[in-house]
Amino acid sequence: MVASEIRALFAVASRPEIVSLAGGMPSVSALPLDVVGEMLGELTARRGSEALQYGSAQGDPELRERICEVMALEGVRASADDVVVTVGSQQGLDLLARIFVDPGDVVVAEAPSYVGALGTFAAYQAEVAHVPLDDAGLIPAALRETLGRLRREGRRVKFLYTVPNFHNPAGVTLSAARRAEVLDICAAHDVLVVEDNPYGLLGFDEAPLRALRADDADRVIYLGSFSKTFAPGFRIGWVLAPHAVRAKLVLAAESAMLSHSNLSQFAVREYLATQPWKQQIKAFRELYRERRDTMLDSLADLMPEGCAWTRPAGGFYVWLTLPEGLDAKAMAPRAIAARVAYVPGTGFYADGTGHRHMRLSYCYPEPARIREGVRRLAAVVEQELSLQATFGSTTPTATHGVDTPAPNTL
């Protein structure tokens, strides 16, 4: 249902007259498309009999070697043998849920959390226990408390699912100090960690942060993706997992799709081998930083009193909290009518909360459009506030029982 809601929203949001701050599409037009095209053409002409053939379920060995070089930028030391190439990170999540989750199991995740992960966990009938985050990411004390409570309740916790860098949707990053603490807590409770890291190389200010996986090879399953650092159209992500998990993942991948696209894999492999990919990531970072700045400046200039938002140091998203009494979900149709789209916060919670929040993406629209979108959004919020002043609050209460604090950064 959440997926359908968002799909309906995106269908409307793609109309040209609407400024969409909803989608998480990277700016692939910033790539040298002619160069990539030439590379693909040559690859197919020269080695098509292999590139257009079936591959293996685990993925091309040379690509897996390259993936290890990419992860080394975040301090990860790994063998290509423990990497499984996936159809984006999403397939990695699906395969992990498939091998780990039995109905009624618990997955611990940030509040809010990535909507695609929540959808997959729900599909496998996991129950999500949310743990709040703040400006420095997941709150260790809250994680400890939640794991303790779940243990006392005799619940089976399968893993902690976390997006440590430039969180989707919250835009925050887990601090270096907290990383060690999170690993310690999970070790103490013998809980695996699924580190979902599509944005790690897209930080605006400093070198990539050290991955959780870099400090615990046995406990952490790392998910990566080329969707944001190269292009999503290839659908190439990966899972780095401890050996026993990796073996199960390969069997699951084989059952799910037989083999991955060789063409896509060879394209990414060739791109990493022959193109200045680190320079390209730098270009992406500069492009997204400019857009982030535009969004933060526009929000500061235009949003009415009482709104709060996160200040991402990388990635694609700002997480905005409306003044008390407003409801981002109820407001969405009126925003569309005012020709601006966002994703209401409710999709990012498994417990029916999130009404006061929205995710704003700055990754895709040009800066002038971002500013125009924020202008339109501000006008909608103003109008809601004046309606509220006249008729009183429309905020619903949570539709489920769990009490999940909103990110207290907001």
Q: Which is nearer to a copy of itself, 23 or 164 (CB)?
A: 23
C-alpha–C-alpha distance, residues 236 and 225, integer Å: 6
- Which of 258, 273, 300, 337 contacts a copy of itself by CB under 8 A? 258
Q: How far is the CB of 92 from a copy of itself (least distance, A)?
A: 10
Q: Which is nearer to a copy of itself, 39 or 76 (CB)?
A: 39
* CA-closest candidate to residue 359, choices 332, 387, 382, 385: 332
- Which of 74, 94, 105, 384 contacts a copy of itself by CB under 8 A? 94
The torsion angle over the Cα atoms of residues 342, 345, 349 and 350, rounded to 10 degrees, is: -70
Q: Which residues share a beta bridge with 122?
A: none
Q: How far is the CB of 403 from a copy of itself (least distance, A)?
A: 27
Residues in the chain: 410
255 binds a copy of itself (CB under 8 A): yes
- Which of 219, 235, 289, 359 contacts a copy of itself by CB under 8 A? 235
Asked if residue 361 lies in contact with residue 21, where contact means CB atoms within 8 angstroms, the answer is yes
From 146-154, 230-238, 273-281, 326-334, span contacting a copy of itself (CB under 8 A): 230-238
Q: Number of residues in contact with a copy of itself, rule: CB under 8 A?
A: 56
C-alpha–C-alpha distance, residues 267 and 89, integer Å: 18
Q: How far is the CB of 22 from a copy of itself (least distance, A)?
A: 13
310 binds a copy of itself (CB under 8 A): no
Q: Which is nearer to a copy of itself, 325 or 367 (CB)?
A: 367
**3 state SS of 85:** strand
283 binds a copy of itself (CB under 8 A): no
Q: Which residues share a beta bridge with 84?
A: 239
The CB density around residue 49, as the number of other CB atoms within 10 Å, is 8
Asked if residue 410 lies in contact with residue 312, where contact means CB atoms within 8 angstroms, the answer is no
Interaction residues for a copy of itself, span 16-55 (CB under 8 A): 25-26, 28-29, 31, 33-34, 36-38, 40-46, 48-49, 51-55
Q: How far is the CB of 322 from a copy of itself (least distance, A)?
A: 28
Alpha-carbon distance values, 12 to 18, 48, 358, 367, 393 (Å): 8, 39, 17, 21, 27
Backbone angles phi, psi at 309, to 5 degrees: -155, 160
Q: Which is nearer to a copy of itself, 116 or 344 (CB)?
A: 116
Asked if residue 79 lies in contact with residue 98, where contact means CB atoms within 8 angstroms, the answer is no
User: What is the per-residue burial (b if ≥16 Cβ within 10 Å, else e) of 73-86?
Assistant: ebebebebebbbbb
- Which of 18, 67, 231, 326 contacts a copy of itself by CB under 8 A? 231
Q: How far is the CB of 230 from a copy of itself (least distance, A)?
A: 8
Residues contributing to the site for a copy of itself (CB under 8 A): 3-4, 7, 25-26, 28-29, 31, 33-34, 36-38, 40-46, 48-49, 51-55, 87-88, 90-91, 94, 116, 119-120, 123, 227, 231-235, 251-252, 254-264, 267
